[in-house]
Structure 1
Amino acid sequence: MLRFDNLSKRYGERVIFQGLQHAFGAGCVALCDENGSGKSTLFGLLAGTLEADTGEVWLGGHSLRSAPLEAKAALAYVPDDCLTYPTHTGRAFLELVAARRNTTVSAGTLELAERFGLAPHLEKRFEQMSLGSRKKFFLTAATLGESRVLIADEADAGLDAAARAVLIDLFKTLGQDRTVFFSSYDTVLIRGCDAKMLGFAELGRHE
């Protein structure tokens, strides 16, 4: 469902990583590595918000390079700061994502938002929300449509204990038939959703 081959990125003289390759099927995988190691850069490349220097990414069997629309249609992406749409309200954001995925905001989606404690924030703009609230809206939106891959950068950032419990349930459910690839240092979260732990060493990193 998610695959990348010979993925490399550098900024000037600094090599972030090179030669990364891996293939993921259904299930949860946690990327655990030190701060500054390039996790957000890798997720940006996989989501198509950054451009790789070399290599190729496939999402749901579609090449991000040669079939970007089809590849991105297979993806639900939760970025680190979740401020992509600062002036959208929470409700408007969910409706926007639903429209892009040719579906509607279902009762199940609203129920998940309720479990995340988002009901009081549906009419707030993202720029008015805390990081945790923004993150929860993006995680809730990941259930819309039929995406095959979920990529979540710092998935649990800003979440309290109750929201982390909801997140574990969400990841376990999605991981039954999708790839859930996320970064986190929370061992309770990682173990709770039965995630496989990987570092850059396991992705074939060479510097």
Structure 2
Amino acid sequence: MPSASPLLLIDSLRFAYPEVPLFDGLSAQVPAGATLVLGGDSSGKTTLLRLLAGELAPGSGQLVLQGVSLQSAPADYRARVFWGDPRSGTLEEQGVQDWLAALPERYPRFDAGALARHIEGFDLHEHLSKRFLMLSTGTRRKVWTAGALASGAALTLLDEPVAGLDKPSIQYLQQALAALAGAADRAIVVAHYDALVGVPWQTTIALPER
């Protein structure tokens, strides 16, 4: 069962783009298991995940992951996080198999057995020898999600993970998230406009419409 103690503390987080305030004193406790960041378009879901990843700097507030503060130990904090954009142009020339093979070096708790299950579940075998630029948007997302779920990262951030996915892949993703919802030592944070069916969310961070 997930621990009662939060893995991630969000304390009085403030952030604004020029003339567009998004968060003003946002506080939340993210436990182990699955957390849903719920909101519509322009609610700030992606921005919040980028803040939690340490990719954006908040105007003020604290983020503490497993007792490690982003503000005081940024490298240690970020080393515990899996985050990225599967649409990123930096992946274009990279081989899928090479990208997956490099993940265990960065994430000590990487689970090769889980990766094999996710490759099977997302039906990725025929794509492993390709480069990312050869993949469809949905297949690229499936590869990235397979790596994210297998990473073992203490904080795994998934932004709109069903975008571009076919129905069998969405069903598999829901099953994979449900299985990880009982994790005692990692938090899976999913940003989406609706709750995915069959996932027992430990908590929900609801963002107001803008």
Report the CA distance between 1:66 and its aligned residue. 1.6
Amino acid at match of 1:193: V
Identity over aligned residues, as a percent? 29
SS at match of 2:83: strand
Amino acid at match of 1:184: H
* 1:184 alignment counterpart: 192
SS at match of 2:104: helix
SS at match of 1:142: helix
Report the CA distance between 1:103 and its aligned residue. 6.3
* The one of 55, 69, 72 aligned to 1:63: 69
* TM-score after normalising by structure 2: 0.85
Separation of aligned partners in 1, 2:109 and 2:49: 25
Go from structure 1 to structure 2 and tell me whether the alpha carbon gap of 1:74 and 1:15 turns closer, same or farther (over 3 Å shift): same
Go from structure 1 to structure 2 and tell me whether the alpha carbon gap of 1:65 and 1:184 turns closer, same or farther (over 3 Å shift): same
Report the CA distance between 1:107 and its aligned residue. 4.0
Pair 1:72-2:78 in alignment: yes
Separation of aligned partners in 2, 1:144 and 1:31: 21
SS at match of 1:192: coil
Q: Is the 8 A contact 2:13 2:62 kept in 1?
A: yes
* 1:95 alignment counterpart: 101
Report the CA distance between 1:143 and its aligned residue. 3.5
Calculate the aligned-residue CA RMSD, in Å: 2.3
Pair 1:199-2:206 in alignment: yes
Go from structure 1 to structure 2 and tell me whether the alpha carbon gap of 1:70 and 1:135 turns closer, same or farther (over 3 Å shift): same
SS at match of 2:200: coil
Pair 1:130-2:136 in alignment: yes
Pair 1:115-2:121 in alignment: yes
Amino acid at match of 1:116: F
* 1:139 alignment counterpart: 145
The CA deviation string for residues 58-102 of structure 1, in whole angstroms up to 9 with x for no partner, is 223311222222222222225363554222111111112222124
Amino acid at match of 1:11: Y
* TM-score after normalising by structure 1: 0.86
